[in-house]
Amino acid sequence: MKRWWYVWLVSSLLVAGAAVVLVWPYLTGSHSSPRGLQWDKPEGIRAELAKEREWADQPFTPIEDSKAFLAAIRGIKVRLDARLTPEAVENLRRILFDQLVCRHSGDLSCYEARFAESRRNELDPEARRWAAVMYHAKLGRELPDNWDAQDVFEELWRAEYDDDTGRRFESVALGPQGALIAIGTVDGTEPAPLDVLPPVLLFTKEELQRWWSWPGAGKRGSAALHPGPHSLQAIVEKEGECVYASVVLIIRNADGEVWCWSPHWYLDPVDHTWQLHGSVIITRRTGYVVPM
């Protein structure tokens, strides 16, 4: 009897120990899924993996600074629900091309050369708060009291796109399941304040489920450190509405991760230039910053 009791006890301890070893990474968040296992929503985990496979299982186009890649960008589906000139649409395509090329090369001077003219180095309180959150999340330290937006942008850029991070953009899915440019108008009646959250009302319910709102989707705003000279809120208050562009792109990184990037721009009626309104990262993974 004692022998069987001893065997049972040892076996139980071994099984319990093995269970702890297997489960501990999920409980602590040290598993490859940074958010750990969602015990109350196991279907969410399955949906996350299925979504990532769905995104990955489509043709991807290598990103390169070439006329051929620019022509491929021009092939992205555009849904236009606003009065807009062909030149304005082409300018937005060119911005997308430049964004992708610079984030593929990881070269900060590439970004500075292509986007320096349209930026100002001032942030409103909400943008400063979010920049501080992103800075701490990415670099693990608090922002200094007298920080400069350009300096923070450069530090975040290098942290995101250094050679050893694997975060450089490698390729992009440009077909109808992987890319869309939706252009319409916003008028201030959106659920969230315009200068806090990019509106997604230009997407259909099906498109939101495909890219934005699937079970387990994690969303994080980018670190937008260079706003335009006139805020979207100010334009809407003055003009009553503003032309707005919401974009989705399925990106594959250099390390093979596949995720959805949704940048947003608005058209400044003063000088007819597209100004960044921010971007959102949709993924089951965490840690992306995408400084802009």
pLDDT digits over 189-230, tens only?
Answer: 765 555 555 656 788 888 888 888 877 777 787 767 877 888
Determine the 3-state secondary structure of 235 from DSSP: helix
Q: Of the candidates 33, 97, 12, 22, which has an alpha carbon nearest to the alpha carbon of residue 287?
A: 33
Q: What is the pLDDT of residues 222-276, one digit of tens each?
A: 767 877 888 888 899 999 999 999 999 999 999 899 999 999 999 999 989 999 8
Choose between 205 and 64: higher pLDDT. 64
| In the chain, % of residues over pLDDT 70 | 75
* Beta-carbon contacts of residue 198 (< 8 Å; ≥ 6 apart): 221, 246, 262, 264, 277, 278, 279, 280
Choose between 140 and 42: higher pLDDT. 140
* Beta-carbon contacts of residue 222 (< 8 Å; ≥ 6 apart): 134, 263, 278, 279, 280, 281, 289, 290, 291, 292
- Rounded CA gap, 136 and 144, in Å? 11
Q: What pLDDT, on a 0 to 100 scale, did the predictor assign at position 282?
A: 87
What torsion, rounded to 10 degrees, do the Cα atoms 107, 113, 119, 125 define?
20
How far, CA to CA in Å, does 161 sit from each of 107, 132, 221, 283, 289? 8, 19, 18, 18, 10
The strand pair at 78-80 and 179-186 is best described as: parallel
Q: What pLDDT, on a 0 to 100 scale, did the predictor assign at position 120?
A: 63
